[in-house]
Structure 1
């Protein structure tokens, strides 16, 4: 099946999710996400992880596989996304928290459109799941 994009991705893969639990720093562990799903959340984001550590450290990866990661290098982003794509519906790039600003990740990459474009294009080309 081809990778769905845009509205088709939202409608089919995410089943038109309207009740979304956004990622929360140090508060989006698996237990919280499972509880949120039982209470009606249709889509739950994970906490952010550092992509470089996720790629290089098997223990870190095993302990945190169900979490979101951060990266500001297209190759590292795609490496970690390839490791995680079989365990999620999509890979999300954005985080608007101050920790992302300090590390130059997530939503704060919008200040560098060329870098952001390289990350998204490479991820779109290499991944079997969409990038949001």
Structure 2
């Protein structure tokens, strides 16, 4: 590049992209609320599918749940949703798992996000 660029006055900034850092990054979300319907439990989180899948192309995620307390009740179907009002902001569906409650955390692993979000749950 020295033939065409003045290296003394030019700064090259390289953006690594998710292909490089994706496997090393987690995205932390908190359960804000859940609503039981006749077909499923709708769980709203403070994260969004936009944060972990900006092209909306993935059909599954590696995740773990950190619970405030163990729930004995399992739920047949829990639809995990993002905080946006977009109908496509459904992140995933959990089947026959413990009921998620406000304050529980869902941590998405290897998502290629650009930073790890770790914060307190909002207080209402």
TM-score greater than 0.5 by the shorter chain: no
If the TM-score is normalised by the length of the shorter chain, which range does it land in?
A: under 0.3
TM-score (ref. length: structure 1) = 0.26
Higher strand share: 2
Higher helix share: 1
Instruction: Report which of the two structures shows the higher radius of gyration computed on alpha carbons.
Output: 2
